[in-house]
Amino acid sequence: MAVVEELLRSEPDGAISFGNYKLDAKAKVEDYEHGGDLYKVKTFKELTKLEKNGMFAYESEPGTGVTDFRETEDGVTFTVEGDEDAQITVGLKEDAEYSVTVGGVNIGTMKTNLSGKLSISVELENAGETTVKIVKHG
């Protein structure tokens, strides 16, 4: 299970893991330092939200557990788990095109809006973990 009991943790390889979709009440961790950045996570069964240096990074409705979350100049990759299908939004570069792969299947090219947000639906019910890879074009 991808539930992160400590809500937010650093992985030995430089990635982070966060979110506990099993909680009935909201829980949060603020001012968590990782790689020179400050993270904040709010999570419970209805929502998981991650901020990096006060800026939007990730949100899912309902809540999810995320492992191996990595951001690069070209995009983001992570593994996600939840009890129900989820709407996931990630913060990227504004007005840019990205290739999106979910569970090893390329679901096409998507463009971020003017605030740099990209939203996808991920089938999680009865799926276990699903890997998401979002890579910038050009």
CATH classification of the domain holding 79: 2.60.220
**Domain hosting residue 98, numbered range:** 8-136
Number of independent structural domains in the chain: 1
137 in Cβ contact with 97 (< 8 Å): yes
- CA nearest to 133, candidates 81, 61, 48, 71: 71
Taking only the tens of pLDDT, the chain with its 138 residues reads 567 888 999 999 999 999 999 999 999 999 999 999 999 999 999 999 999 999 999 999 999 999 999 999 999 999 999 999 999 999 999 999 999 999 999 999 999 989 999 999 999 988 779 999 999 986
Does residue 1 form part of some domain?
no
Q: Which two tokens stand for residue 10?
A: 């650093």
Does residue 3 form part of some domain?
no
